[in-house]
């Protein structure tokens, strides 16, 4: 997550020329904040450039140039640099959005099992932005049922690979009793690629059904919540 440090600035101790992805600060004014942060170089003249960089004391590394509509230019040693408010700070706070979505519109059936079974079609691959972004995963189906003749337990889970992130656990008192499960997960995953999926489980029985149709799809929705 991008941070701001009020009234803190320093200068470059080395040049930051076009194409360069590292440099050195004159002082460790900004400390060593987690994740990549936004800095404005030459903020006091027309060559101002917003960069995104990993900061470790006086070291700048993994620098991404020309952020927020600015241009990549040469910056001399001694150029002023500050952690100032830039458009990406605002976006980081306000831009919620859908990272991934998948749905099914026909019933999914499987033999009931205590072991989770993936629901075919309810998986989505997403790319989580850098900087410690919180996401929300919602898994929903209008109804689920098992035709087991005795009391049963039905589970709906959200997974990444073999890792269960969150589940809902429902009691089914009689055969074919319809339940309406929903699972909501919130977390801060690492940046980069992730694949999330929905799975179901129940006590042993003849079948387990996720009901879905064109007007009542079962779905998984992954949303970016705009910061940690």
For the record, the structure tokens of 209 come out as 């059904």
Strand partners, 80: 11
Please state which architecture CATH assigns to domain 98-224. Answer: Sandwich (2.60)
| pLDDT at residue 202 in the model | 84
Measured distance CA(26)–CA(9) in Å, rounded: 10
**Residue 156: half-sphere exposure toward Cβ, Cα within 13 Å:** 27
> Residue 79: exposed, middle, or buried by beta-carbon count in 10 A (0-12, 13-18, 19+)?
buried
Q: Where are the domains of the chain?
A: 9-94, 98-224
Closest CA to 97 of 3, 228, 222: 222
Q: What is the pLDDT, as a whole number, of residue 215? A: 95
Residue with tokens 């509509």: 69
Q: Is 66 exposed, middle or buried (0-12, 13-18, 19+ CB in 10 A)?
A: middle
Q: What is the mean pLDDT of each run of 10 residues along the chain (228 residues)?
A: 86 97 97 92 95 96 96 97 88 75 96 89 90 88 79 88 94 75 93 94 81 96 78
Q: How many residues does the chain have?
A: 228
| Backbone φ, ψ for residue 82 (5° rounding) | -145, 155
In 3-state terms the chain splits into helix, strand, coil percentages (rounded to 5) of 5, 50, 45
Which residues of 113-161 form beta strands (DSSP E)?
A: 117-128, 135-140, 143-146, 152-160
């Amino acid at each position: 997550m991008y941070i701001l440090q009020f009234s803190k600035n320093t200068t470059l101790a080395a040049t930051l020329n076009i194409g360069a992805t590292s440099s050195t600060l004159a002082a460790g004014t900004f400390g060593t904040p987690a994740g990549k942060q936004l800095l404005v170089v030459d903020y006091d003249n027309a060559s101002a450039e917003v960069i995104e960089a990993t900061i470790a004391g006086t070291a700048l590394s993994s620098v991404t140039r020309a952020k927020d509509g600015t241009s990549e230019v040469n910056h001399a040693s001694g150029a002023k640099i500050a952690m100032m408010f830039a458009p990406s700070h605002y976006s980081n706070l306000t831009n919620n959005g859908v990272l991934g979505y998948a749905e099914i519109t026909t019933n999914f059936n499987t033999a009931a099992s205590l072991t989770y079974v993936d629901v075919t079609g309810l998986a989505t691959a997403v790319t989580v932005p850098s900087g410690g972004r919180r996401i929300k995963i919602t898994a929903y189906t209008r109804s689920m049922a098992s035709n087991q003749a005795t009391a049963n337990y039905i589970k709906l889970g959200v997974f990444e690979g073999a890792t269960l992130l969150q589940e809902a656990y429902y009691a089914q008192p009689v055969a074919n009793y319809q339940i309406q499960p929903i699972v909501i997960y919130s977390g801060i995953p690492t940046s980069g690629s992730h694949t999330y999926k929905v799975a179901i489980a129940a006590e042993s029985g003849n079948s387990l059904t996720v009901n879905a149709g064109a007007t009542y799809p079962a779905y998984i929705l992954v949303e970016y919540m705009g910061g940690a």
